[in-house]
Each structure stands twice: as C-alpha cells, then as structure tokens.
Chains A and B, each alone.
Chain A
C-alpha cells in the first residue's frame, strides 16, 4: 500500500457505547468465537461495552455445551470470564429464550465485581424484553452484529 494513506485516527479520550449483537449459535459457524475476540479487544480499549444475545445467540450462554463429538474447540468458558474483563452488561432477550424452551437457569453464571459497591460480585446477565433491547440499541454509538 502507498505511504500517503492515513492509517491512524484520533481516539484520545474517546469513550463510546459499543454493543455487540450475538444472533448465532455458538458452534456450527465461527461467528460467535470471532465476535468474542472483538469483544475482548474493545474492553481493552476502555469502551462502554455491552453484549446482547438474541435469536440462536442465546445458546452461546447455555451451560454444559459439549463439543467433543463435533470436533470443535470449546470456548464456552470464555463467556464466564467476561466479568474479569470488566464487562458488566450481558442482555439476553426473553422472547428468544422462551421460543427455545430455555430459562435463565439454563445459562452460565457470569459475574462481575462492582467497584462502586465494595467490589461485591453481581450477576452480569440480565434477561430483558425485545422492546427493552430496542431502547438499549437506540442508546448506542456503535453496534456490531454477527
């Protein structure tokens, strides 16, 4: 590439609301795995990160995924670690859960430590309605979906 193309942009002090919209099952396609890589990088940039799980994306948080028989790398434990990256908001769409016969008890527990509350452990997963997700989406600066 030629040298006169600008490859660096001013981002000093920028903090935006980034939403990652997960709509696909965790295994069978690579979208969920690669999306997680993007999420972790964004957290390292100190952005205001939230994740939404809807449609088959709700399966990404399901407990007890066993990938041995399909020979895929099992990365389900990464979701549990999101709290350690200070990712505090995982929104799961209620309608998508219900349509698949799932409840919040079927989901992996994800907790974060709340620095404003003496580092108390709090649940990061919040089950919300489709309408509430629409409102949250409206508040975002950047929405990345896969």
Chain B
C-alpha cells in the first residue's frame, strides 16, 4: 500500500512525531511504501537542524533524516507554517525540503491512505 503521512506536532511536547516515525518504519519493513511525510503546524519543528536534545534522548530530527535517506522518503516542510516558526533553509536539517501546502493535497490524491499524526 502507498501511504502519505501528515505530522501536526513538534518533536517533544507531543508523541505524534514519534508515533509517526515508528509507523513509517514498520510500514516500510512490511513492504509498504511511504510516498511523503508532510510536516505542518508545529510539526515543522521536526526539521530544525539546531535542535539539540540531551545525549541520552532520541533525536527525531536526525532519525527522520536518516530514515528518509535510507528508504528514499520525501520529507516536506510546509513553507507558510515554517516561516511563522523560523524554519527556513538556514536551519533546515538534512533530508528535508521546504515546499507549499499543495504537496499535502497532492499526497492525499496520490496515496492509498493519508494518516494524520497530531494532538
């Protein structure tokens, strides 16, 4: 099955991004395809390269980047939501790209299922 993923929360206050990450990993291991992960609302904070969690904690920014690289997943940060929150090219972590909201609609159209992870 072809999945699209929408993440609406940042990496720490909520578990949404963690759950989405675990789902994405599990889906790929089961042979499904994740076409795109779209980061919206505070979810754009998952792409902040300046994020520096404590060394004994998970680092979702890096985990997403690594997963995307390994499995060639398109990680898209919403430009409008990003600008409001200071997520711009200057601080964009490896593996992510910034684009418009149309990329979310597109994935809704192209994927068999669009899953929202949020509050």
Contact = CB atoms under 8 A, between A and B. Distances in A.
Given A6-B72, A9-B110, A145-B116, A38 B97 contact: no
B60 interface: no
B105 interface: yes
| Main SS at interface, chain B | mixed
Interface residues of B, number: 33
A138 interface: no
| Main SS at interface, chain A | loop
Interface string A123-139: 00000000000000000
Contacts of B81: 34
A34 B104 contact: no
A2 B70 CA distance: 11
B110 A34 contact: no
Nearest to B33: A6
B101 interface: yes
A144 B116 contact: yes
Residue among B35, B73, B110 with max Cβ neighbours from chain A (10 Å): B110
A1 B118 CA distance: 25
A38 B38 CA distance: 12
Contact of A146 (B8, B95, B105): B8
A37 interface: yes
B119 to A, nearest CB: 8
What 8 pairs across the A-B complex have the smallest Cβ distances?
A9-B110, A142-B108, A11-B109, A41-B101, A14-B109, A42-B105, A45-B105, A5-B72
B41 A144 contact: no
Contacts of A44: 102
Interface string B68-107: 1100111100001100100000000011110011101111
A115 B104 CA distance: 28
A5 B108 contact: no
B6 interface: yes
A10 to B, nearest CB: 6
B50 to A, nearest CB: 18
Contacts of A14: 109-110
Given A5-B74, A38-B40, A41-B105, A144 B95 contact: no
